[in-house]
Amino acid sequence: MAEPAPSTPPALDLSADITTLTAALCDIESVSLDEAAICDAIETALAPLEHLALTRIGNTLVARTDLGRDERVVLAGHIDTVPLTTDPANLPTQRRGDELWGRGTVDMKGGVAVQLKAALVTEPSRDLTFVFYEGEEIDSQYNGLLHIHQQRPDLIEDADFAVLLEPTGSIVEGGCKGTLRVDVVTKGIAAHSARPWNGHNAIHDAAEVLARLAAYEPETVMVDGLEYREAMNAVGIAGGIATNVIPDRCVVTVNYRYAPDKSEDDALAVVNQLFTDFVVTVNDNAGGARPGLDRPAAKAFVEALGVDVVAKQGWTDVARFSAMGVPAVNFGPGDPNLAHHDEERVPVAQLESAEAALLRWLA
């Protein structure tokens, strides 16, 4: 029996208008771990562009100019999406009035389409590194930026600045906060609940943990001219053996969102100081990212776009750029509140304005 012919990736017309290109990208299904077809399509579309040198790592594609400019900037976007829904069906995309509906229109193939439009500029004002990466929506081990960091950091580390085209409603969100998650453990002595004096109730001791959290006053920190509001909260609590047993252990899970002026160790020191007489176990600690708005490349970007600039209060992959020594901001079309939503949709005007802003900056 003859071997089946290799599948041909769907064609992308980079000359199409931004809305049509976004729809074409969305209609190539690319749920996390199934990004081969869309990566193939992007690679096929970019291969004829002689001003770009392509490098592929798995289903992550890097395209670079080498024009000898004084600055190099990364434009990055992930090509995977969360799973589709069937009721309502959110693929294929639909144009409804002034909006494009469908999975990926917000998170974040609108931003990827803007990247592809920028890739057509043969003489940009600075050298560019385009990153189209896999595995952002799932566990970190699958993230294409992580793979670049591990295997080919040289593809990114020479950049002065990075723009992650995640949805921000077409404003600039600078850097991001770090996130630390710990378990604060109280220890007691188990006993029969009819004779509690024979034991010590660990759940009751958790009241002190909660009281300290309630009294804690988080800082508001200025970093590169942006205001980051820290937060520390209990996000989970677990304890108890049985309904007739005094519990000997209780765990309060605490999440600390910290400003990017702090290192991971600094953040852990803050938590340890607050709970100095408790057992604290670290579950996860991902550092934040400074926006680097004092850098010339960042200043030029903000001035060219002429949009509002605010601090990113959550955590995004800009932190991965920071880990490689590259300051970064978030900027892209789409309302982040509609990411992963059954009714995911993006205004056509935001796609057009994001494209126009980026091309204005590169002119």
Just list the catalytic residues. Answer: 80, 136
Task: Answer left, alpha or beta for residue 225, where phi above 0 means left and psi between -120 and 50 means alpha.
Answer: left
Full strand arrangement of the beta sheet holding 99-101: 94-96, 99-101, 345-347
Type of residue at 327: P
Q: Which residues contact 293 (CB under 8 A, 6 or more apart)?
A: 174, 224, 225, 226, 299, 302, 309, 327, 329
Type of residue at 280: V
The token duo for 73 is 């900037």
